[in-house]
């Protein structure tokens, strides 16, 4: 199990009580992630339905970018508090984007509905990703979050940020080493 704290992008102006933490652990044939937010009283959660949905990053959204170590191609996952999700493949940094077909959908559960009490902060989103949705071999990942406050302001959170504007696709954001999940 790995627990990482995300930091806001320097240009972001998050409310001072907001903090974001991600727990990643191997689970069965994939990974389980818990995105947890402190300062939830200021978190805006809009109604975007459930299932596969585009443009989730426009509001509160939790993300995971993952690629095989040494590769330039990567996969992006987006998860919304409404249980909506998205998945995209890229051939290289922000190029060759496509939305691949899936046999196994990620499991997304809003912590307010699951009844599970967050261990950090006041809000949690729980996600499971089957190994069939992940690259094969040693991986490097970028867990990220877009946090929208009730006043409409947004902050952008990652383990590391490149210079310039927020850009979760940038190789500098891929800062979490992952071992391949093992079969259960």
> What are the tens digits of pLDDT across the range 67-83?
999 999 999 999 998 88
Domain range annotation of the chain: 2-178
For residues 154 and 158, give the distance between their C-alpha atoms in angstroms, rounded to a whole number: 14
Residue 114: band (very low, low, confident or very high) from pLDDT cuts 50, 70, 90: low
pLDDT of residue 78: 96
Question: Which residues, at least 6 apart from 76, have a Cβ–Cβ distance to it below 8 Å?
Answer: 63, 64, 65, 86, 87, 88, 89, 90, 169
CATH class entry, domain 2-178: mainly beta
Q: Residue 184 — very low, low, confident or very high, per pLDDT cuts 50/70/90?
A: very low
pLDDT in tens, 12-60: 877 777 899 999 998 888 899 999 998 766 677 766 677 899 999 888 9
């Amino acid at each position: 199990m790995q627990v990482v704290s995300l930091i806001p992008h320097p240009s972001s102006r998050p409310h001072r009580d907001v903090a974001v933490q991600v727990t990643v652990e191997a689970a069965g044939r994939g990974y389980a992630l818990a995105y947890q937010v402190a300062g939830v009283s200021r978190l805006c959660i809009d109604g975007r339905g459930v299932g596969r949905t585009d443009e989730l990053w426009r509001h509160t959204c939790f993300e995971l970018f993952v690629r095989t170590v040494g590769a330039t191609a990567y996969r992006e996952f987006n998860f919304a508090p409404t249980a909506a999700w998205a998945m995209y493949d890229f051939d290289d940094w922000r190029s060759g984007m496509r939305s691949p077909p899936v046999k196994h959908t990620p499991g997304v559960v809003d912590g307010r509905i699951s009844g599970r009490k967050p261990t950090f902060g006041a809000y949690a989103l729980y996600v499971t990703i089957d190994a069939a949705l992940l690259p094969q071999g040693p991986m490097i990942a970028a867990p990220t979050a877009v946090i929208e406050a009730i006043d409409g302001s947004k902050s952008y959170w990652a383990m590391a940020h490149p210079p310039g504007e927020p850009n979760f696709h940038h190789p500098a954001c891929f800062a979490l080493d992952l071992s391949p999940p093992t079969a259960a």
